[in-house]
Structure 1
């Protein structure tokens, strides 16, 4: 444990998390640069080697930092990007003001996941003296990655460029539950074709909105079927239309000849994305055969699912430490999988590094108006994380 007092530790964590929240890093469009420079400068001021990596996108740098060169290595992963805040007038506080009220930090990214980034930075800094003195034989790596919110290969690139290790902890908000499994998703853009005509003569054309109706019905049936299948620690699979557009690029009096919708298919551990593609294609074939609706499709985004054994020592250690710190309520001491996709998939699937998703804060706060996190929980998480990492790099 750091020699700083509890109050000093709380104050510096609050200050660092606030500073990060106050740097807008919305994705899209993806403007992580200022935050990456902040993180890189902070590490260098603390005497820690940090690289401002301009891959995979030179306009969107990210940071990899390392303390130590030998022994077992734990990678602490966080992402710098946040989803757009939307209308600031809908927020009670400035989404990028970093306000603290009644012990909660408010702002876009407070829960998802700049407080997690701050935890990684501070734990690496606090363990650095023991690593350098040789009393800890291992190493700590920190990721401040770009592009997690849109499946960009930020974390994967950091791992490929040598910021890897033997274990990974992805510091997303899980309310102290340890996720050994993560859901994935495949996102599809589906186009429906019709024939344009004047709205005063609708029967002279084919309204693509009407053509989309049986497709929407078929997707509802597909979703119902998925919900009946066996689930996982992450819950069940779903198929949801998240966007639909038709007629927006023409005159108001024109029957639209083209519609596009976005289908979000949540993918469970063990499901093959290619097999999911085949299910979607079969669905569209059936709609064409039964209703004459012509469609084309493209998979536009993919997050792979991931899984490691629930009794992996890293998972067990974090579960035990969390349950001791906050109690076993809410499933903290039980095996669990997270419904959301996380960059744990890059560790497990791409780099073959066992990784869990864990952190303070409630996932329900992610992507919401007035997003916030209890700073007292962040303090507890810092202590748990420091103890667990120290045990794995002794």
Structure 2
């Protein structure tokens, strides 16, 4: 590749990723619409068939695009939504300005995962002439999905509506490691009951905050027990309280009669969500019996875990291509061993491919997962260029 062509490719990915970052798509509330329309228009201008799909939520469209009709099909998956940026003053620059400095793109979604979406778009466009001419005997599908950050069925709906294939690559930031398994999670809202009274007479009631103390201790014990269990490629299971609320919306002098907490339980491949429900119920029942606790729970969010064999051809080819470029030990990024089998600790939409559509899928991409959801989130654009080349080569190998 000539120096000029390489420079053009570098500029191209920088511009496209930055354009996507500059479109706020925070979820919640879930405002992917403007970004979906941008992606749809980009595909149409590139002469690629695309659909602006208004399912599963008509107010939150997503995009499915396809190049080719027959042969093996590789699906390149990315999501448009990002977690809220929080206080913009905590950032070094506007989180939606798309600032590029010292070869890094900064902004919410730069790593997680709008650069991955940009790479998928460019790879599909670049392979389109060879697919149409018959030089490559297969198809490429691109997802620009809604709702991944809150377990909405964006990717699942795209797969159900015909934007499926034989292989799936979910372009989350993994530092070029190939994840053949993903950890899941079950999120619970636990309500603890007390008896309200005036704060000047606390003994006349039962403070729901105090009632929750033995439950918090029990959750700590549960977490410790989970950490002793045999792990997986994704690491171990955890149980963590991520939110607690009591006494809000009332007079400051009222002893609260209700406390609610959110329990995040990380689920390993092979664990049954119903069995996890049973563990949570057993935990609460023990605290009820030992401390007279009045409490109930509801599962409010679920991401299933997923897994395919570590030696599946998709994983092997992508792993080998990555090692050729960045080295077996991970010379690019701060991750682990690129050449080793691996599972990602986070939940990804690979589960929708594997569990819902029966399509083997891996999670792989440039960037550091530690950048996701952080202040001053960023990605090395040099890594993005490497990922584009690797991905194009892998897709080409499956379509030849």
Q: Identify the TM-score tier after normalising by the shorter chain.
A: over 0.9
Equivalence map 1:133-152=2 (5 Å)? 133-152=133-152
Map of 2:332 onto structure 1:
none
Q: 1:333 aligns with which of 312, 336, 339?
A: 339
Map of 2:114 onto structure 1:
114
- 3-state SS of paired residue (2:259): strand
TM-score when normalising by structure 2:
0.98
Following superposition, the deviation at residue 93 of structure 1 comes to 1.1
Residue deviations 1:99-135 (CA, integer Å, cap 9, x gap): 0000000000000000000000000000000000000
- 3-state SS of paired residue (1:241): strand
Supply the distance in 2 between the matched residues of 1:243 and 1:164 (Cα, whole angstroms).
37
The 1:141–1:191 alpha-carbon spacing in structure 2 relative to 1, beyond 3 Å, is same
What stretches of structure 1 move > 3 A for 4+ residues in a row? 1-4
- 3-state SS of paired residue (2:152): coil
The 1:186–1:2 alpha-carbon spacing in structure 2 relative to 1, beyond 3 Å, is farther
- 3-state SS of paired residue (2:240): strand
Residue deviations 1:156-181 (CA, integer Å, cap 9, x gap): 00000000000000000000000000
Map of 1:23 onto structure 2:
23
The 1:162–1:336 alpha-carbon spacing in structure 2 relative to 1, beyond 3 Å, is same
Supply the distance in 1 between the matched residues of 2:249 and 2:107 (Cα, whole angstroms).
35
Following superposition, the deviation at residue 338 of structure 1 comes to 0.1
Supply the distance in 1 between the matched residues of 2:85 and 2:145 (Cα, whole angstroms).
19
Residue deviations 1:4-60 (CA, integer Å, cap 9, x gap): 711000000000000000000000000000000000000000000000000000000
Map of 1:352 onto structure 2:
358
Tell me, yes or no, if the aligned pair for 1:117 and 1:171 is still in contact at 8 Å: yes
Map of 2:333 onto structure 1:
none
- 3-state SS of paired residue (2:131): helix
Supply the distance in 1 between the matched residues of 2:33 and 2:202 (Cα, whole angstroms).
51
Paired residues, number? 394
- 3-state SS of paired residue (1:85): coil
Matched, 1:103 2:109: no
Map of 1:312 onto structure 2:
312
Map of 1:154 onto structure 2:
154
- 3-state SS of paired residue (1:142): strand
Supply the distance in 2 between the matched residues of 1:83 and 1:159 (Cα, whole angstroms).
23
Following superposition, the deviation at residue 249 of structure 1 comes to 1.4
Following superposition, the deviation at residue 2 of structure 1 comes to 11
Map of 2:79 onto structure 1:
79
- 3-state SS of paired residue (1:5): helix
Tell me, yes or no, if the aligned pair for 1:182 and 1:305 is still in contact at 8 Å: yes
Tell me, yes or no, if the aligned pair for 1:183 and 1:338 is still in contact at 8 Å: yes
Map of 2:221 onto structure 1:
221
- 3-state SS of paired residue (2:216): helix
Equivalence map 1:1-394=2 (5 Å)? 5-329=5-329, 330-394=336-400
Following superposition, the deviation at residue 148 of structure 1 comes to 0.1
Following superposition, the deviation at residue 328 of structure 1 comes to 1.2
Supply the distance in 2 between the matched residues of 1:391 and 1:4 (Cα, whole angstroms).
26
Following superposition, the deviation at residue 3 of structure 1 comes to 11
Aligned Cα RMSD in Å? 1.0
The 1:26–1:331 alpha-carbon spacing in structure 2 relative to 1, beyond 3 Å, is same
Residue deviations 1:331-368 (CA, integer Å, cap 9, x gap): 10110000000000000000000000000000000000
- 3-state SS of paired residue (2:351): helix
Supply the distance in 1 between the matched residues of 2:25 and 2:255 (Cα, whole angstroms).
40
- 3-state SS of paired residue (2:83): coil
Supply the distance in 2 between the matched residues of 1:144 and 1:351 (Cα, whole angstroms).
17
Residue deviations 1:42-79 (CA, integer Å, cap 9, x gap): 00000000000000000000000000000000000000
Supply the distance in 2 between the matched residues of 1:93 and 1:124 (Cα, whole angstroms).
32
Q: Which runs of 5+ in 2 are unaligned?
A: 330-335
Supply the distance in 2 between the matched residues of 1:181 and 1:29 (Cα, whole angstroms).
29
The 1:174–1:224 alpha-carbon spacing in structure 2 relative to 1, beyond 3 Å, is same
Supply the distance in 1 between the matched residues of 2:93 and 2:245 (Cα, whole angstroms).
32
Supply the distance in 2 between the matched residues of 1:93 and 1:244 (Cα, whole angstroms).
31
